[in-house]
Amino acid sequence: MNVAFSSQSRSHPTIGVRLPPWASNTLPILGGVVDYMRVHGPWRIETPFDSFGEMEKVELTTGWRGDGIILFRATEEELADFKKRNIAVVLLSSEGPDHGFPRITPNNQLIGQVAAEHLLELGLQSFAYLARGETLYQNPQFSPGPRRYSRERLSGFRKTLAKAEHEPLVYLLPGLPLWKKNTWRKIEQIVLQFLLDLPPATGLFAVDDALAALTLRIAEREGLPVPLQLAVIGFGDDLNYCHSSFPALSSIVYPAREIGRLAAAEIAHQLSGAPPEATRTLISPGPIHQRESSDFVAISDPETATLVHWIRKVAPLRPIHVSDVTAQSPYSPSSIKAKFREHLGHGPKREIIKTRLAHLHFLLRDPDLSLTKISELMQFNSTHELSRFLVRETGERPTAYRELFQKPC
């Protein structure tokens, strides 16, 4: 359905998108905005950039002349100015003032839950959480102060672990002057001390990829084996951090495209004449991209751990049988089954099913993957076979699972 813009808006409204320089999700958020535009008509898009003298520098702040703006965070002064001049506004961060404008953010409680579930699946018995309790900036647009998202992710992480009778070790970084030259050294010292105090074989959820990458850098420098002594997962799936870390960082995907689409729809809603409301729409995170930083199986018997690792590497890609597992080992099938039951509480067949089911859930959380494509990726013979597998193991059909997971909270 096409949006009827108010008379004060031009036929092609000018929409600004301002995200902070550290945000790697700028392009996929813009992709979501473009997805909306393809259906509802073209907009003029402006983003803040500096072409180093080749073009006029664009700044999206007080006095900016446009129709709507999608912001990460903003100051009270900016928001008051936009409201006074009837500019539509959507905020994409849980931090800072809103001045009566809506927010669209990831579901931080669910992010913490997903991280905890992933680390629990590794068989770990010790867990930790590292985040910013407060962040100090000189630039007021970044809204310095206590961090709500850190505490929301901790809440989801802690509640999920509590169900398995675990309590995480928690450290919230204090606010430090990030504009000072050697502040990073102080942060490294604080994080190092926290890591050294953790027991062996701990699963750590860092609030985002930046802190997770810092953790991996410190662990490598100090000789802390990852993932054997410290399994790490972050949030954001920022490839700059995930693949410049060693080992590569496991991370939960930031739902950027969906946030971009919904932000564009909310801008259009305000442009149609609807007054803004100080609501908060929570979007489910994307899947986990597991990489080497959490590729760990907490099993004391090396032979069993090797076989479980093989299953978890191969089973997501193709159907395998117990005979395929036993072919990887010099031990007898009965001995292998006994070892699996001793260390995992179930046999190799169940481990194969659990691994394929976990990967199927991972793929179903990606709305851009069709069931046909997922069947091909996992080598099911058909979408019907995929559906039968999911119904048999969970009682739920693929479409119902997708609706449940992707429904904004």
Cα 176 from Cα 194, distance rounded (Å): 17
The pLDDT value given to residue 9: 46
Tell whether 318 and 370 lie within a shared domain. yes
Residues 274 and 233 in one domain: no
What pLDDT score was predicted for residue 408?
Answer: 43
DSSP 167-192: --EEEEEPP-BTTSTTHHHHHHHHHH
Q: What string of H, E and C letters represents the secondary structure of 72-106? A: CCCCHHHHHHHHHCCCEEEECCCCCCCCCCCEEEE
Buried b (16+ CB within 10 A) or exposed e, 127-157: bbbbbbeebbbeeebbbbeebebbbbbbebb
Q: Provide, rounded to the nearest whole percent, the portion of the chain with pLDDT above 70.
A: 95
Q: Are 123 and 297 in contact (CB under 8 A)?
A: yes
Residue 177 CA to residue 131 CA, distance in Å, equals: 16
Report which of 235, 233, 240 is spatially closest to residue 253, judged by C-alpha positions: 235
Domains: count for the chain: 3
Instruction: Judge if 120 and 247 occupy the same domain.
Output: yes
Query: What is the model's pLDDT at position 404?
Result: 66
Query: What span, in angstroms and rounded, lies between the C-alpha atoms of 76 and 82?
Result: 10
In a domain, 264, yes or no: yes
Amino acid present at 276: P
Write the pLDDT tens digit of every residue in 288-346. 988 889 977 667 788 888 898 889 889 989 999 999 999 999 999 999 999 999 888 88
Percent of the chain with pLDDT over 90: 68
Both 38 and 89 in one domain: the answer is: yes
198 assigned to some structural domain: yes
- The token pair at 342 is 């001793």
- The pLDDT score that the predictor gives to residue 224 is 87
Q: Give the global pTM.
A: 0.75
Final residue of a domain: which of 266, 294, 322? 294
Tell whether 115 and 220 lie within a shared domain.
yes
d(CA 26, CA 17): 9
Same domain? For 317 and 369 the reply is: yes
Question: Does residue 144 form part of some domain?
Answer: yes
Instruction: Specify the residue for token string 């069993």.
Output: 304
- 231 domain residue, yes or no: yes
Q: Could you tell me the pLDDT band of residue 58, with boundaries at 50, 70 and 90?
A: confident
* Number of CB atoms found within 10 A of residue 93's CB: 21
Residue 351 lies in a domain: yes
Q: Residue 272 belongs to a domain with what CATH number?
A: 3.40.50.2300
- 382 pLDDT above the threshold of 80: yes
Residue at a domain's end among 265, 294, 323: 294
Q: Which two tokens stand for residue 169?
A: 């070790």
Exposure string (b/e) for 211-246, b if CB count within 10 Å is 16 or more? Answer: bbbbbbebbeeeebebbebbbbbbbbbbeebbeebe
**pLDDT on residue 10:** 57
- pLDDT of 94-119, one tens digit each? 999 999 999 999 999 999 999 999 99
Classify residue 1: in a domain, yes or no: no
Q: Is there a single domain that holds both residue 181 and residue 80?
A: no
State the residue range of the domain holding 371. 302-406
Distance CA 103, CA 9 (A): 22
Count Cβ atoms below 10 Å from residue 35 Cβ, excluding itself: 15
Mean pLDDT in the chain? 90
Domain identity same for 81 and 190: no
User: How far apart, in whole angstroms, are the C-alpha atoms of residue 188 and residue 245?
Assistant: 15
pLDDT at residue 55 greater than cutoff 90: no
Q: What pLDDT, in 10s, does the model give residues 65-84?
A: 999 999 999 999 999 999 99
Looking at the domain assignment, is residue 125 inside a domain?
yes
- Whether residues 101 and 112 fall in one domain: no
User: Within a domain: residue 118?
Assistant: yes
pLDDT at 285 over 90: yes
Higher pLDDT pick, 196 / 305: 196
pLDDT score for 298:
62
Averaged over 233-254, what is the pLDDT? Answer: 93
Same domain, 133 and 145: yes
Q: Is the pLDDT of residue 132 over 60?
A: yes
Count the Cβ atoms, other than its own, within 10 Å of residue 119. Answer: 29
To the nearest 10 degrees (0 to 180), the angle between helices 398-406 and 383-394 is: 70
Residues facing residue 282 across a β-bridge: 105
Q: How far is CA 113 from the centre of its chain?
A: 11
Inform me whether the pLDDT recorded for 267 exceeds 60.
yes
Mean pLDDT along residues 187-213: 95
DSSP 8-state assignment for residue 8 = T
What CATH number should be reported for the domain holding residue 353?
1.10.10.60
Residues 239 and 317 occupy one common structural domain: no
Whether residue 165 contacts residue 193, with contact meaning beta carbons closer than 8 Å, is answered with: no
Residues in the chain: 409
Mean pLDDT of 203-230: 93
Cα dihedral 89→94→99→100 (10° resolution): 70
Mean pLDDT of 375-381: 95
Same domain? For 26 and 160 the reply is no
